[in-house]
Structure 1
Amino acid sequence: MSIARRTRHWRALADGRVCCELCPRRCRLAEGQRGLCFVRACRDGALVLTEAARPLGCRPDPIEKKPLYHFLPGSLTYSFGTAGCNLACRYCQNWEMSRARAAATGGGAPTDPARLVTAARTSGCRSLAFTYNDPVVFHEYALDCAAAAHAAGLYTVAVSAGYVLPAPRAEFYAAIDAANIDLKAFDDRFYRRLCGARLAPVLETLESLVHETAVWVEVTTLVIPGENDDPRRLHALSAWIAGHLGCEVPLHLSAFHPAHRMRDHAATPIATLMRAREIARANGLRHVYLGNLGNLGAEIGGETRCVSCGARLLARVGYRVVARALDETGRCLVCGARCQGVFTTAARDTALDHPARGPT
């Protein structure tokens, strides 16, 4: 399979350059130039994806590792990414892949989507996950893989920063069943200074997914000491989620560990995450989880509780579900109240719940 391929979202400019119209950067590239993502380039007057069909990090993972706690909990998802990313986060936890040239990753042979699907099914996975780097940058290949996954009866999962323009966003998420979107901070200055991006497009993506699609959505915020852990900012973030997305949307508060260009920062104290959870709950969010703390995170912040009677619906140790008290439709076995999420093992065409809807 050829690695480079023409892309879908771009336009030619009068001066001979091309404008990428995949993400809000709208990189304008002359012949031979690459975008910030590194994997999209101008060749022969067209925009091409240079690393198409070159997956990296292929392996089965617990779905909880994405993290998704209300989408087929306890199942496996076949995970992969590629080189490149359209953000430039100074603290990236997967920087070896997202900021690397493909040749530096030590792998990534061209792979037909059918081979990934076969590997997923052989591994006992229920879904295919586009993760590790942002699937925005391998948009066309991800769509090919999603089509192959659905044809084989697998669900599709995207882990993304949500930094994408409306047209490609609609095209991509029409093929996605569940997504975890990073809301890195409720602060445009944070996005500009530490990620080289803007906040507004991410908020637009979140509202679009929740209110205009059937994608199951969960949100993750990596809490970084001294950067986005101010209680006022955490209050604004969780209040926005409650008011604009709905109180049933799960929020994952994840611990930062020194990485990439921010190795001088301390890891997130557990007390900081617990305080952030209290703030989110005070703003009405019903499912707030603590992550990136190993087994301890599951013990202090990984349980799923019934919002009606308080019964423990799902107990987790690390990324493993060790006990459950809800049926396949997500109803509590104690009181019968509905927990919002996708818990059924039926075929893909089963209607997915909309996160903004309240319990029924």
Structure 2
Amino acid sequence: MARARADTGNFPKEPHSVSLKVLRLSRPSLVQQHPLPLEIENDTKIPRTASLAYPSNADGVDQEFILSNNLGLPPSFGSAHVGETFACALCANNELLPGNSTKSVSGTRILAEMQTPSQSVPLELHAAESESDQTGPGSSLQCIIRFDLKEEGNHVLAVNVTYTETTSGDGQATSGKVRSFRKLYQFLAQPCLSVRTKATQLASIEVPDKTHGPYGRATLLRYVLEAQLENVSDTAIVLEEARLQAKAPFKATSLNWDAEKEDGVEVRNPLLNARDVIQVAFVVEQEQGVSEGLEELKDSMRRDGRAVLGQLAIQWRSSMGERGSLSTGSLLSRRRVS
């Protein structure tokens, strides 16, 4: 026999006295415009200035160029890329009207966490202003969160707001009621750079090694590591650094644009437009007389015929200066065929 469900009380839900606003903190971009050709203005009743983002008669302003002098904020969360820092401002606003003497809000708290494809991470909140409770109508509790995006896929920003609502009447205050609500904001983290690597072994070098006797010899391994970096985002980026963090006992020498900086030559960092590809290369050599990591290297070569060369660390900036970084996993040499 089916049991009747308990009566939970179909009471109307009271609107919350506190609202939550979330604003992503990102750098602006140059507003695009599509000017009408000069010859069309005489054939239509539409003034040509209507097609300009910011009509101006000032000297030095090119009204024909697609990019204007205006800066615009993204209309929504926009695109988020792996390697960038995702930042948001959270605002809990007291929505009580001024002069409302029947309700008061206190003890407002904000908790936030980021749900990634693999885990949930509690977020540290940085107060945007002096940290204080909401005490009056129209007041606002503001804080800023930052999170380094390291995974591709869907991310969910979960925000919990808790506050105490006190109702008063006939000059007497009733006990405070703790109220809370939770909001979820979903966005997609997409890759900005695609990295493909290839390691090629060079001829080994034999050097004297006294640890194996007066006539002992040691073999030092040498490799060339090549990497193709492709900009898979929709915006242009400027590469600032591509560095191989070699694993001991190896050392890495860059063969890229930054190699000439050590000689005092002024070098322009490469610009990658959308879908552009650049190739970088490093010479990886085993250092003579370095014992750190040597036994691990020998075990790896005996077991798998492969050597761990290190990790590739890449840094870039977007067109408006936002930083991004990416670090690969451990890069291995090709399996040695015996």
TM-score bracket, shorter-length normalisation: under 0.3
More helix by share: 1
More strand by share: 2
TM-score (norm 1): 0.22
Which has the larger Rg? 2
TM-score (norm 2): 0.23
